[in-house]
Amino acid sequence: MEKQNTEHCMVCGSDLEYLAKALEMTCSYCGKVEHGHIHCPNNHYTCDLCHNRDTMAIIEDIARTTRSHDPFEIADLMMRYPGLPMLGCQHAYIAGGAFMAAVKSEGSRGVTNADLDEVFMRTAKQAHGGYCGLSGVCGIAPAIGACFAILTGSKCGTTDAQRTTMEAVTRVSRAITDLTGPSCCKAYVWSALEVAVDFLKESLGVRLPAHSRSGCSYTHKHPHGCREKKCPYYSGRLGNLLGKALELGAENAKLIDTATVVVEEWVRWKCLYGCPLYGKDASHPPCAPNAASTAKVMGEYRTAILLNSSRGKSLTEVAVRLEGEAYRSGYHKAFALTALSSGLEGVT
């Protein structure tokens, strides 16, 4: 038996134990008796159904309601759910759900919510906690396989459809294998989606957005220790700052190349002609920096963190506090461009 500091028991919070051989266990929540490979030293056990219940409700709801064509955007939204553990087979449902939801939104294959339910049902048959280490099969691979099987009509006895599905699974498995040591479910999701998006275009001619690799914000949460520079999604201390931004209250945070920031003069004119806050303080024209000065300063930075929130004034506090965190992390040029309200005083 090998004990690893992975996830914690849902009942008592103890570090979970991973077993080399299955034992008969009783779920502490529903009373179901089954053979399992993961439990806590206090003999608590949680079956996959109970362990995933809340998270699956969120994943399924996002998959059914999103209108996004971007599987990476959908997956990232699912992974921001606070109840999602850093590692676990919930990520198989995220990979399959995000991919199929994006194809549904794209529209050309006629995917329905019933197809999404079928993906989740098939994934449940092969994505089980700890089996990536016990059998060498990560549940994300069959989850993507289920998507391609539904899209192609693959089943036992088919030829080209089954071959396409197996090829998709083979490519995903290879991509995941190249990222092991230690395992990271977040990286596996992103890598699987990259492969799936490429193969979808190659095999079925369906185009979905490619991943921009904006950087990982989960580095500090990995219980086994992040692979850091060995991982293509690692963003070093900047990744830690992304995670900190979410902790401070931002609804979303991502790394962007400052070269992609467009600075134009019309924004200043919008304030000059019609904005009631013109000339009220240093944050507004004519005191605020003009377009030329702003563009020049932007050119002195390579990377920025873009924050998003539905509450502008609260986001200002997040940005200022994040500037301090960045400075203490060694980014001494860090400077926060704060959010402003969209109207008169008192408007959020």
Q: Are the C-beta atoms of residues 176 and 194 closer than 8 Å to each other?
A: no
pLDDT in tens, 203-250: 999 999 988 666 787 887 888 888 888 888 887 778 788 888 988 998
User: Which is more confidently placed, 270 or 60?
Assistant: 60
CA distances from 189 to 109, 138, 195, 286 (A): 23, 10, 10, 47
Q: How confident is the model at residue 346 (pLDDT cuts 50, 70, 90)?
A: very low
Please tell me the predicted confidence (pLDDT) of residue 66.
96
Please tell me the predicted confidence (pLDDT) of residue 268.
86
> In percent, how much of the chain has pLDDT > 70?
93
CA distances from 180 to 108, 170, 187, 261 (A): 35, 16, 9, 35
pLDDT in tens, 291-327: 999 999 988 988 889 998 887 778 889 999 999 999 9
Q: Which of 91-100, 258-267, 274-283 has the largest mean confidence?
A: 91-100
Asked whether residue 260 carries a pLDDT value surpassing 50, the answer given is yes
The helix, strand and coil proportions of the chain, stated in percent and rounded to the nearest 5, come to: 50, 10, 40
Asked whether residue 39 carries a pLDDT value surpassing 70, the answer given is yes
- Across the range 56-64, mean pLDDT stands at 94
Which of 140, 191, 146 lies closest to 164, judged by CA? Answer: 146
User: Which is more confidently placed, 103 or 36?
Assistant: 103
Q: Are the C-beta atoms of residues 229 and 222 closer than 8 Å to each other?
A: no
User: Which is more confidently placed, 200 or 128?
Assistant: 200
Please tell me the predicted confidence (pLDDT) of residue 1.
31
Please tell me the predicted confidence (pLDDT) of residue 339.
63
Asked whether residue 6 carries a pLDDT value surpassing 60, the answer given is no
Tokens at 223, concatenated? 């219980």
Please tell me the predicted confidence (pLDDT) of residue 3.
34
pTM attached to this predicted model: 0.67
The CA R_g of the chain, rounded to the nearest whole Å, is 23
Please tell me the predicted confidence (pLDDT) of residue 347.
44
pLDDT in tens, 95-120: 999 999 999 999 999 999 999 999 99
Please tell me the predicted confidence (pLDDT) of residue 212.
64
Q: How confident is the model at residue 256 (pLDDT cuts 50, 70, 90)?
A: confident
- Across the range 12-22, mean pLDDT stands at 80
